Structure 1
Amino acid sequence: MGLNLRNAIIHNVSGNSQDELKDTIVDAIQGGEEKTLPGLGVLLEVFWQHSSQEEKSMLLETLEEGLK
């Protein structure tokens, strides 16, 4: 079932513009609902899979600093 959720999330945002993706992320964060966390996780997964080592390092530094 987890795989179906991941595919559904990817299907729902595939082809979205940067503005649409930003709106999706901002709405999920501002809404603060637990049900949006899997979607944000899938977006993070896509980001991670398509990032350079430098981008990954920058993300990790940002997360580390934000979690202090």
Structure 2
Amino acid sequence: MNLNLRNAIIHNVTGNTQEQLQDTIVDAIQNGEEKMLPGLGVLFEVIWQNASESEKAEMLQLLETGLKTQ
């Protein structure tokens, strides 16, 4: 069976409202389960691919700051 995880994840959330997407993200983070990490990675990939250069710079700044406080 040839399963493309990336496409499956995108298919599962395509058409979701912003509220549903937020619920998915919050649930994945709060559960803290390792199996949710690929899904969050795919969602981040979609965000990154659709972000402007200034939005990417802002995300990198937020990431750098967040990692310093871990």
TM-score by length of 2: 0.93
Aligned residue runs from structure 1 range 18-57, under 5 A: 18-57=18-57
Give the distance between the partners of 1:19 and 1:59, measured in 2 at CA: 21
Matched with 1:67 is: 67
Q: Unpaired runs of 5+ in structure 1? A: none
Aligned sequence identity (%): 70
Deviation at 1:26, TM superposition (A): 0.0
Structure 2 gap segments, 5+ residues each: none
**Inter-partner Cα distance in structure 2 for 1:53 and 1:15:** 26
Counterpart of 1:33, as a letter, is E
The number of residues matched between the two structures is: 67
Give the drift of 1:44: 0.3
Specify the structure having the higher radius of gyration (Cα). 2
SS of the residue corresponding to residue 16 of structure 2 reads coil
Residue 38 of structure 1: how far off its partner (Å): 0.1
Normalised by the length of structure 1, the TM-score is 0.95
